[in-house]
Amino acid sequence: MNTMTQITQKLNYIYKGLALLIGGTLMLSSCSKDFLEPKPLSFYDPTATFNTEEGLISAMAICDRHLKLYWATDHNEMLTLGTEYIFSELMVASATDKRNMMSDVAHQLTPTSETSYQNLGRTNSIWYLWEETYKGIMNANTIIQFVDQVEELDEPTRNMYKGRAYFHRAFRYMALVFQFGDVPLITKILDIPKQNYRSTKRDAILEMITRDMEKAVEWVPDQQDMGLTGMVNKGACRMLLAKCYLALGEYAKAKEQTDILIEQSGYSLMQDSFGTFNDGGEPQTWPITRNVIWDLHRPENKLSPGNQEVIMGMPNRGAGAESFTKMLTMRILYPFVFDQRLKTKDGKQALLNIRRNHDDYNPNYDYMRAFGRGIATFRPTSFHTDGVWKVNGIMDETDLRHNSEVGNWIRMEDYKVNNKESAEFGNPVTLYNPDNGDLLCSDSIRRWFDVPHYKLFLDDPVNEANITGSDGLRGATNGGNADWYLYRVAEAYLLRAEAKYYINPGDGTIADDLNALRRRAQCSELYQGAVTIGDIMNERARELYWEEWRNVELTRVSLCLARSGAPDEWGNVYNLNDFDKQSGTDSQGGSYWYQRIIHYSMYNKGPIQIDATGISNINYTMDKKNIYWPIPYAAITANNKGNLSQNFGYDGYDPATPKWDNWEDAVEDEDKISE
C-alpha cells in the first residue's frame, strides 16, 4: 500500500464528524452505492501520521489531485463542471432520454432532490459538488492543523504548506458560498462527530478566506522557484485573493493584485503559435491551420516551459496511472449525431461510424475520430454559439475562438454525409429538407449545435486503437487524459477590467484589458470607450469557456454589482439586501445572475416540442431563488442537534434560524460537541 493511499484512508477515519454532516463517505476513490455506510478502517493517533514531512506531502498531493476532479471524472456520461454551466446563460441539460434531466429547474430542484451520487447519471452534480467540496476542505484542514507538529520543518517551509492548504480551502469555500450561500464553516479535524453546527454567513466566510489568502500570497513561492509543476504557486494565490477582494467590495486591492500578475510576475499572453502542434483526430476529415488559440489549448502545451500564460494548471496526462483521470469532453459535450434521428433528405442515416478496417472507410469522413462519439449530456445555448460573438452589434468573423476556417470551431454544416447509400453522400448535413421544409433532425436539442473544438478536442489513443472491439466504439473517440488550466493570465486581464468597472464604470481603460485578449484572438471588432459589465462577462464567456466556474462567477459578479451600486448592461441597479432573496420566473427583478439567464438562455421561454425517447415536451425553467442551490436535506437532518439554515424560497427556509455573523465565533464553536 503506497503512502498516499494510507494517508487517504487515515483522513477518512479522523474526519468522521464531517462525514455525518455532509451525509456521505470520505473515500476519495469511490463512487459506489455503499458510500453511505461508514467503515472506519482502523484506530490510530493522527499525530503520529502527520508528524513528518512525508505525511504532509502525501496529504498535499491528495489536495492537488482532488482539485482536478471537478473538471475530470471517471463517470462515462457526466462531467461535474457541466452543472455549473447549466446554471448559467451558456448551457442547458440535453440528455433528452432522461426523464429526470435537470431542465425544469424551478420545480425540480428541492432540498430532497439531490441526495446521492446517482445524480451523476446524466442529470446534474449538485450533491457531488456539496460532498466533494467538503472533502477538499477536510484535506486542507488536515494539513493546516498538523503542520506545526512537524518538528523537522523550519518556519518558511511550514508556512509554505499552510499557504497552499489555505488556497485549497479558500478555493472550495469560494465555490460553496456562491453555490449554496450561507454554509457550515469547518476549519478543524474533530476527534468525535459534531452534530450541532449552524450556518455561517457568506460574507464572514469570505472575510476568513481573504485573510488566509493574504498570508498565502506572502508564504507560497513563485512557480519559477518551484521544482514541480501543478502545485499551488504564488500566482494562483494572487488570482484567488483578487477574487476574494472583489467579492468583499475591496476593488482597489483587487486591481492591485491583477496589476502585479499582469505587469510584474513574468506572465504574458501567448501571441504566436508555440509548443507541439497537434493536427487533430483525423486531419483529412478536419484539417487544422495552426494558430495560437489552437496551440494554447492543447494539453501537451498547457504546462510546457514555453507557455508564459499559464499561472497554474492541473497535470492529468498519462496512461494507466491512478492519479490521471479521464476527461470525456468529446463524449459529453459534442452533439449526438450518429443515429437514425439525423437523416438525409432521401431518408438515410446521415452519419455512420465506419471502422478503419472496413471497405467503406474513407478518411475524409471519419467524424468519430475527428469530432468524437458525442452523446450531448449538455448543449450550448444559441447565445453561446452565436450571440455572444457579436461585438459592437457585428458578428466578428475573424475571432480565432469562433473560427471554422482554421478548424477551431465546428458548425453542424461542417459535417458531411458519410453514408454511401444516400444520394447526399459528401454533402453537408442539413436541419431541414430544402425540397419540402421537413425537419431532418428529430431532436435538435441534443443533436444540432456548434462546438468550440479548440477547447474540447482531446487525443484518445486507447479508444482509437480499439477498432474491432465489441463495446460499440469501434475506434471512436471519447476524449482522454488531459492537462487543464486552473488559471491563466488572460483571466487576470478580465478581473482587472471588472475591478475598474466597480471603481468607475466610465473608465475608458477597461476596454484596453478586453482588447488585449481580442487582439490576441485576431478579432476585427474592438471595444471603444466605456464598456458595460455585460461586455466583460461576454468576454469571459469567449475566453474562459470550460475553464471558469460560470455559475460561481456570475453569482459573485451579482454580489459585486449589488455591493458597488454599478449598473448592469440594461441599466439595472441591484439591492444588497434582496438581490438573492427573490422568487418567481417572471422577467422583472432578481439578481444579475437571473437577468443574464432570462435574457440569453433557453430558460423561461416556454415548452419546446421534440420527438425523442422518453420526453416529448421540454420546458426549461429557472427561478430567481435558484441563484443558490438548496442546502441538502440529508445534511440538515444529519446535523440533528443543531440547525443549518435553508436557503430562501426552498422548503424549510426560516429567516429566524440563527447563523454565525463572524467567522471567529464559528471557529470557536467547533470544539463544542453537543451531548
pLDDT at 476 over 90: no
pLDDT at 23 over 60: no
Contact 389, 395 (CB under 8 A): yes
Maximum average pLDDT range among 41-45, 280-284, 314-318: 280-284
62-121 pLDDT per residue, tens? 999 999 999 998 777 889 999 999 999 999 999 998 878 899 999 999 999 876 655 555
Contact 498, 480 (CB under 8 A): no
Span of 9-23, 93-107, 224-238, 331-345 with lowest mean pLDDT: 9-23
Question: Which is more confident, 522 or 11?
Answer: 522
pTM of the model: 0.93
- pLDDT band for 513, please (50, 70, 90 cuts): very high
- Residue 304's Cβ-side half-sphere holds a number of Cα atoms within 13 Å equal to 16
SS3 386: coil
Span of 42-56, 197-211, 520-534, 579-593 with lowest mean pLDDT: 42-56
Instruction: Determine whether 185 is exposed, middle or buried from the number of CB atoms within 10 Å of its CB (0-12, 13-18, 19+).
Output: buried
Angle between helices 550-564 and 592-600 (to 10 degrees): 120
pLDDT at 40 over 50: no
185-216 pLDDT per residue, tens? 999 988 788 899 999 999 999 999 999 999 99
Instruction: Determine whether 4 is exposed, middle or buried from the number of CB atoms within 10 Å of its CB (0-12, 13-18, 19+).
Output: middle
Determine phi and psi for 660, rounding to 5 degrees: -80, 125
Question: Which are the contacts of 347, defined by CB distance < 8 A and separation ≥ 6?
Answer: none
Mean pLDDT of the chain, nearest integer: 90
pLDDT at 492 over 90: yes
Q: How far apart (Å, rounded) are the C-alpha atoms in residues 134 and 186?
A: 9
Amino acid at 8: T
Q: How far apart (Å, rounded) are the C-alpha atoms in residues 82 and 445?
A: 16
And the C-alpha cell for 527? Answer: 471595444
And the C-alpha cell for 639? Answer: 446535523
Q: How far apart (Å, rounded) are the C-alpha atoms in residues 458 and 370?
A: 10
pLDDT at 416 over 70: yes
Q: Which helix (H) or strand (E) holds 206?
A: helix 202-219
Maximum average pLDDT range among 42-56, 73-87, 98-112, 594-608: 594-608
Q: Where are the alpha helices (DSSP H) in 611-655?
A: 633-638
- A 10 A CB-CB count for 335 gives 27
Q: How far apart (Å, rounded) are the C-alpha atoms in residues 87 and 174?
A: 17
Q: How far apart (Å, rounded) are the C-alpha atoms in residues 61 and 616?
A: 47
Span of 5-9, 245-249, 343-347, 543-547 with lowest mean pLDDT: 5-9
Q: How far apart (Å, rounded) are the C-alpha atoms in residues 383 and 373?
A: 24
Contact 208, 243 (CB under 8 A): no
**631 DSSP 8-state letter:** P
Span of 18-22, 409-413, 534-538, 611-615 with lowest mean pLDDT: 18-22
- Residue 487's Cβ-side half-sphere holds a number of Cα atoms within 13 Å equal to 27
Span of 125-129, 140-144, 416-420 with lowest mean pLDDT: 125-129
The confidence score (pLDDT) of residue 48 equals 59
